[in-house]
Structure 1
Amino acid sequence: MHSIRILVLRLYRENPSWGYRRLHRERLVLGITVAASTVWEILHEAGIDPAPERARSTRADFLRSQADAPLAWPV
């Protein structure tokens, strides 16, 4: 179990934007079967959120950014 923990934490450090489900899938690709909940527990015990906040833009954000841009009319 210690080697699984080391691998999960290493994969997380190398790919900090991945959540626990993506880390779980990568472990399966490597041929290491372990439950997704085990990956979540390892991250939780290490004080790492299971899925980092991802920057998402809303439709309102998009419209605001478009309103600030100058208009270009086709010639």
Structure 2
Amino acid sequence: MHEELLVLGVKVAASTVWEIVRDAGIDPAPKRAATKLDPALLAQLTTTAGEWATAQRTS
């Protein structure tokens, strides 16, 4: 909700949003189950991140 307000140009602290939501009786969303990446996708992401880090060090 905080980010949505920022997009609209409304500047408000995240703690203020939390207080408003809590006072309205809205409970936090349940924790999401951990998502597991496909091993092939994880390998590709790891390689890409390593290549990016190497390029950053050499430039």
| TM-score, normalised relative to structure 1 | 0.41
Q: Give unmatched runs, 5+ long, in structure 1.
A: 1-22, 60-75
1:56 aligns with 2:47: no
CA apart distance, 1:29: 0.6
Q: Which residue of 1 aligns with 2:54?
A: none
CA RMSD for the aligned pairs?
2.0
Structure 1 stretches of at least 4 aligned residues deviating more than 4 Å after TM superposition: none
Match of residue 32, structure 1, among 1, 5, 10: 10
Secondary structure (helix, strand or coil) at the match of 1:48 reads: coil
| 1:53 CA displacement | 0.3
CA-CA distance at 1:58 after TM superposition: 7.2
Which segments of 5 or more consecutive residues in structure 2 lack a partner in the other structure? 37-59
Q: 1 or 2 for the larger relative contact order (CA 8 Å, sep ≥6)? A: 1
- Cα-to-partner distance string for 1:10-55 (whole Å, 9 max, x where unaligned): xxxxxxxxxxxxx101100100011111100001001112x30044
CA–CA distance in structure 1, aligned partners of residues 35 and 8 of structure 2: 36
Identity over aligned pairs, percent: 56
Change (3 A) 1:58 1:28: closer
The alignment's TM-score, normalised by the length of structure 2, stands at 0.51
> How many positions carry a matched residue from both structures?
36
